[in-house]
Amino acid sequence: MPNQFEQYGISQDDIDEALTSQEVIDAKVELANEAADYWRSVSPRDTDDYHDSIKVEQNGSDVSVGAYDPAANIIEYGNEKTPEFAPRAQTEAHFEARRKTSS
């Protein structure tokens, strides 16, 4: 994808450097922690295993949130014995709606 900011004197190296700056990483971690807190708040609590498995992970400048309970897929999508709870999808929808209202 061509750099649309080159016409303004902003190189791809400038963009890459900004995206890996500590300020941006800190903002990503802060947002990921908010997402993890929300995800936990909409998660079923039959046991705390799933709730407690929701973690923020950072690898360099990459930041992600995930649920690491072995039952995560069943809780998200359901099966023949368990209804779909979809806490990950609810979290994604919540933050997408928030992004749209702040634009």
pTM: 0.84
- pLDDT at position 100, please? 87
In the predicted model, residues of the chain with pLDDT beneath 70 are: none
Q: Please give the Cα distance from 26 to 39 (Å, whole number).
A: 20
Per residue in 8-36, pLDDT tens?
A: 999 999 999 999 999 999 999 999 999 99
Residue with tokens 């999808």: 89
Q: What is the DSSP string of 1-58?
A: ---TTGGGT--HHHHHHHHTSHHHHHHHHHHHHHHHHHHHHTS--SSSHHHHHEEEEE
- pLDDT at position 62, please? 95
